[in-house]
A and B are shown apart, each in its own frame.
Chain A
Amino acid sequence: MAKNKEGAVMTKMTWKNAMKRDWQLYLLLLFPLAMVVIFNYAAYPGLRMVFMDYNPVKGYAGSKWVGLDTFKKIFRDADFIRALKSSIVFNLLDLLVGFPTPIILALILNELRYPRFKKVTQTILYLPHFLSWAIIGSVAYTMFRPTSGLVNIFLMNIGVIEQGIPFLTEKWHWAVTYLMIGVWQGMGWGTIIYLAAITGISGDLYEAAMIDGANRWERMWHITLPGIKGTVVTLLIMNLGRVMGSNLERLTVFGNTQVKDFQYQLAVYIYNKGLQSGKYSMATAVNLFQSLVGLVLVLLSDKIAKLLGEEGLL
């Protein structure tokens, strides 16, 4: 009979046995699995349009095969290079600023002792996640306009500034505002998974640490953070996979001609040059490129995480 390293007896699990024992669970899994297959994988054969000069009226049958011409055209396009650069820079900045924030916030929320205050705070922090970018964008413009925005009017009235700050109408200010609004929108929701991970840490550890004289900060540093390290690594790997992505809604609502240098990212490129002009091959090729780079980054970071002794994602 097979034994593991500790010498415990292992039962050989076959497909048949697994199905017999847990068929109800597999049955439950069937529906979500089917959804994933249909919506995430069934469209994959359509990817061949990246090697075609795809015309929706002619369909796949009538459209001409062009090999890698679409990719060559894209990589020679100065607008693509511009969009690619902006996408990478802003996604990395998003990661840099946006990734640690929910962790810090989760640690702070975990330390709150008055339950009602904690719940109200959490609810308030979750709410921005449920607002559409269209609403956030229009509110942001109302608040941050240089001369007529509420924030600038307030700052001018209290004498902090003399001239309005172009939060959303000058590219460097825009970059900061764009990132900060992104953090504000996502940080509350991002804490959920960390708070869930924190609840999994044994209370005994905290108790023992308190007996040993550890203060709050030390308990946080030596117990809570190591306790959620696995979750942090997993989410970091998943986020790295999105470094090539961009959110068209978010970019569109904050867009204006003064900030095109930074706002022109891959999602905008795909929409403008691909979908609006009916060039589906081009749009799909860029999207495929984004996905492949994302996949490579996920695999690479997973490997690195494992080399560093972490569990990784796969």
Chain B
Amino acid sequence: MKKTYLQRLFAMTLASAMIMGTLSGCGNNATETDSTQTTDNASGTGTTDNTSGNTGTDAAGATDSASGQESGAVGMEGWEPFAENVTLTIPVYDRGAAGVPDVTNNYWTKWIQENFGDVYNITVEFEPITRTDVLTSYNMLATVGELPTILMEYDFDKLAEWGDKGYLIEYDLDEFARIAPTYYERMVELDQIKYTELNGSRYFVLAERPYFNATYTSITWYRQDWLEELGYTEWPATWDEQKEIYQRLIDEGYCQYPLGGEMINGVGSDKNYEFRTYPQDELEWAMYGDYQIPALSTDAQREWLRRENEKYNLGFFNPEYYVRDAETNKADFVSGNMFQLWGYTSANVDFLTAFYEQNPDGKIGMFITKDAVVDEKYGSVNAFRPWDPFGMMIGFSSQATEDEVKAAMMYMEWMTQEDVLFTMQWGVEGKNFEYGEDGNPVSLAEADPEYTQGFSNSKDYWCVTIESRSLGSVEADMAAVAPAGLPVDYTQDIIDNYYGLVKVYEKGYANSDCKFAVVIKASSELQQSLCELYAEYRDQLVTCPPDQFDALYDELSQKYLDAGYQEVVDERREAYEAGYTTKLE
């Protein structure tokens, strides 16, 4: 059939549009500029363009423009409401956790607006960040020019990447000290200023992390009632004894897969600290010691994976572990299909509450580290990765205006005030907590629904200043993270575990990861794909027959190195040799 003119014209137009669009960018012109498409200063407020970085911004000059602070006055006393409303966007993790309110709109976000935003003519908005996919969330926001006013993360590498990509601006420490003196002085006291720079530029502000040398909220829970029935009084320290327990649990019909198992989830999986040689070699620690990119190809990782392989082949893991998630694991533990489960402790640990509701006669214990224990037979030690000597690392968006950055600094200072922080962390008396006999607050197991706090006592809001609730003494602080409303009180166990972890730390078996003062470009570029590759390879290694393990490990290690890991460690070595790293303590 003959085509009509209209059809031909239409087809030609569409084809031309595609070809023109495709060819429009051909060529290599590094000097071409285009003023029409810039995303600079995306907030469009008409204030100074911050995109190129406001290195050395004069603090006094900055305060003049928005009346945010009286000249000469320091801290909150000097603050005044902004003449024109400023929008402050704060990122908040959306963890998809059950039982917590909408992270962007709840009683506490409104409380912040009323008590901070309304006072200083600031509209405080919260930007949800997917906890399991932080980089993608921020990348997407950067693309549409809507980065939150502050960018924050726990992992140094992510912040370094953002600094390298231009998401962050340099800030003036003097200006920060003037607007947020309490925050600043704490950073000085905690010796954190040394971590604020990258490539010689000052990008980061650091929150406090109490007790960073002991990962006391990270707990492995187990069925103590089962262990006692098997005739054990406490959890044994050696791998051989542990194996015996797992095997007996299977043989005697307590559960089919004592360790359950779940697919590994992102960075921080498969930490090999237990199998490293101590004291660590500093260069090796700098090159392979971090947990952002799993160290496949190292001896420590080999031994870690060999242990996982053994657990799998002995039937301790569910053979389908790689298609199971954390929630399935929890459900199995609650319903008595698993022996042990890892989880963070806080005033409300959902699976413990559920367990005791369903098993009133059951009893759960927690593994308590009493001291460093070396398992001579396997050359392992109960080493761990302590947290960094700071909590959140926070940078200011290059897409924010000066006033917005200033409002962010004010927000951080305001959140650091004792009364504000107390309310955010504990909630309202009678609704979220009651005072105990010792005068310290005690969280209620079930808060008034209207006042329900966010995940882990609203931590994702107050983490801009501190990482955990602190009442001033180890005992009180450990008690504050003990699960409430259960038939068993774990406070003393958590305290004992804390002191045990400190002993391990003091004996040199817990070293913070190396920090780089320069961007490791290969790491930024390859981290995501290497983590994906690692997940694939580690499951092959865990599920292979034990006699094939070593050969497969060698083969996959080489592939992993070729896929970019070699490039990463080489660049780290260069940075180490050039003196751009922290030192092993």
Interface positions of A (Cβ within 8 A of B): 18, 41, 44-45, 47-52, 55-62, 64-69, 78-79, 141, 145-148, 168-169, 256-258, 260, 272-273, 275-280, 288, 292, 295, 311, 314
Contact = CB atoms under 8 A, between A and B. Distances in A.
B135 interface: yes
A47 B399 contact: no
Contacts of A314: 3, 11
B473 interface: no
Given A61-B33, A257-B540, 16 more contacts: A41-B17, A47-B22, A55-B165, A56-B139, A57-B165, A57-B167, A60-B34, A61-B34, A62-B33, A145-B320, A145-B323, A257-B322, A278-B135, A278-B139, A292-B22, A314-B3
A86 B461 CA distance: 44
Interface stretch (B35-43, B377-385, B426-434): B35-43
Contacts of B21: 41, 44-45, 47
Nearest to A66: B28
Interface stretch (B362-370, B504-512, B531-539): B531-539
A57 B24 contact: no
B27 A258 contact: no
B39 A56 contact: yes
Given A278-B165, A314-B11, A57 B320 contact: no
Contacts of A276: 133, 135-136, 139, 528
A59 B38 contact: yes
Contacts of B26: 51, 67
A61 B165 contact: no
B457 interface: no
Given A50-B25, A278-B142, A257 B535 contact: yes
Q: Give me the 6 closest cross-chain CB pairs, A-B, nearest first.
A: A48-B25, A44-B21, A67-B28, A278-B139, A60-B37, A59-B39
Contacts of B6: 18
B320 A52 contact: no
17 contacts: A18-B6, A44-B17, A45-B21, A45-B24, A55-B166, A57-B39, A57-B51, A59-B39, A59-B40, A67-B26, A145-B323, A257-B322, A257-B539, A258-B543, A260-B536, A272-B528, A276-B139
Nearest to A260: B536
B263 interface: yes
Contact of A169 (B30, B323, B527, B540): B323
A60 B21 CA distance: 15
A79 B563 CA distance: 9
B528 A61 contact: no
Given A61-B37, A280-B143, A48 B536 contact: no
Contacts of B33: 61-62
Contacts, number: 135
Contacts of B36: 61
A244 to B, nearest CB: 15
A277 B135 contact: yes
A51 B27 contact: yes
Contacts of B32: 65
B548 interface: no
A168 B40 CA distance: 46
Contacts of A279: 525
B533 to A, nearest CB: 8
B233 interface: no
Contacts of B3: 314
A272 B326 CA distance: 22
A152 B350 CA distance: 32
Contacts of B538: 257
B55 to A, nearest CB: 16
Contacts of B319: 146-147
B17 A47 contact: no
A137 to B, nearest CB: 11
Interface string B530-560: 0010011011100100000000000000000
B39 A141 contact: no
Nearest to A291: B18
Interface string B314-327: 00000110110000
B463 to A, nearest CB: 23
A37 to B, nearest CB: 9
B105 interface: no
A167 B229 CA distance: 39
Given A58-B166, A256-B263, A272-B529, A48 B24 contact: yes
Contact of B166 (A57, A277, A311): A57
Given A277-B135, A311-B1, A47 B25 contact: yes
Given A50-B25, A257-B535, A275 B139 contact: yes
Nearest to A50: B25
Contact of B40 (A62, A64, A145): A62
B518 to A, nearest CB: 19
A64 B34 CA distance: 11
Nearest to B168: A57
B142 A62 contact: no
B135 A65 contact: no
B398 interface: yes
A147 B320 contact: yes
Interface centre among A57, A64, A146 (most CB of B within 10 A): A57
B577 to A, nearest CB: 27
Contacts of B136: 275-276
Nearest to B527: A277
Interface string B35-61: 111111000000000010000000000
Interface string B513-533: 000000000000101110010
Contact of A52 (B25, B167, B322, B527): B25
A67 B27 CA distance: 5
Nearest to B320: A145
B299 to A, nearest CB: 23
Given A65-B29, A257-B322, A258-B322, A59 B37 contact: yes
Interface in B398-420: 398-399
Nearest to B562: A78
Contacts of A58: 39-40, 51, 166
A146 B318 CA distance: 11
Contacts of A56: 39, 139, 142-143, 145
Nearest to A261: B536
A66 to B, nearest CB: 6
Contact of B532 (A64, A141, A272): A272
A273 B25 contact: no
Contacts of B39: 56-59
Nearest to A58: B166
Given A57-B399, A169-B320, A277 B25 contact: no
Contact of A47 (B24, B143, B145): B24
A51 B539 CA distance: 37
Nearest to A65: B29
A137 B145 CA distance: 34
A148 B337 CA distance: 13
Contacts of B37: 59-61
Contacts of B142: 56-57, 278
B529 A79 contact: yes
A109 to B, nearest CB: 29
A275 B143 CA distance: 10
**Which of B1, B142, B536 counts the most A-chain CB atoms under 10 A from its CB?**
B536
Contacts of A50: 25
Contact of A277 (B529, B535, B540): B529
B322 A169 contact: yes
B554 to A, nearest CB: 19
Contact of A57 (B135, B398, B525, B536): B398
Contacts of A68: 28
